[in-house]
Amino acid sequence: MLRLGTREFADHEPVIMAIVNRTPDSFYDQGATFRDEPALARVDQAVADGAAIIDIGGVKAGPGAEVTAEEEARRTVGFVAEVRKRHPDVVISVDTWRHEVGEAVCEAGADLLNDAWGGVDPRLAEVAARHGAGLVCTHAGGVEPRTRPHRTGYDDVMADILEVTVGLAERAASLGVPRESIMIDPGHDFGKNTRHSLEATRRLGEMTATGWPVLVSLSNKDFVGETLDRPVKDRLIGTLATTAVSAWLGAQVYRVHEVAETRQVLDMVASVAGHRPPAVARRGLA
């Protein structure tokens, strides 16, 4: 059972985490939700389309202009409070690696801290424990935040992913983060080349076998673009194919841009797997 905020999710229940970028330079939308009004509209639509988690980020993952902790908090804290007011039951996540920002957003109502940079700030887990918040423990290959991998190599990429993410999860639990509120993430693209991310996907069952809920962040990423030789705005089909494979291998939480399309893919896989009945059943019955 995965517990986040006031929500509980059964073991085979797929969960969508919708991305809301509070940045002017996002790789995907180039700042479309930087201002409050379009960002709140994005939240409303994502919830209506089936997202249970809203993931709010105040710093783009890639290289770019420096964003201080104070500026990151300015972009996220008030927005978290407003989303909490408008959607009392939605799970609010904040994508941050900084404990100062984690502290501020948890005080504003965040339920989950999404640490995409592999525990580079060890105090972030302490913040999650103190507030009873959930934590995403991600493999980032040891790279510094907002840097791209360069000739990264692994003897066994999944072995490294498991060692890092399970270690971070166990540490978080030992600090007092509720075990049922901790997820592990292979960190597609983070500290990895495209072949690493593809291998992590096909071996995802090794992560789900640990018993920790697995989150995957696949949406429109470079490994999809390089695999199919497609630009950012033409990666949806590749993303959804990778989503289906990940769902079949047992991932539970999906961090995405396109909520409605992802919902259909996850529902279809769940039905094929026998975890969800068809929405209607008329064929051959009349």
Residues labelled as active-site residues:
221, 255
Q: From the CB of residue 212, how many other CB atoms can be counted at a distance below 10 Å? A: 22
Q: Which of 266, 254, 249, 268 is nearest to 210 (CA)?
A: 249
Q: Is 139 left (phi over 0), alpha (psi -120 to 50) or beta?
A: beta
Cβ atoms of 104 and 133 closer than 8 Å: no
> Contact 118/166 with Cβ under 8 angstroms?
no
Task: Give dist(CA 204, CA 94) in Å, integer.
Answer: 24
Find the farthest-apart pair of alpha carbons in the chain and give their distance in angstroms, rounded.
Answer: 64
Which 3 state secondary structure label does DSSP give 54?
strand
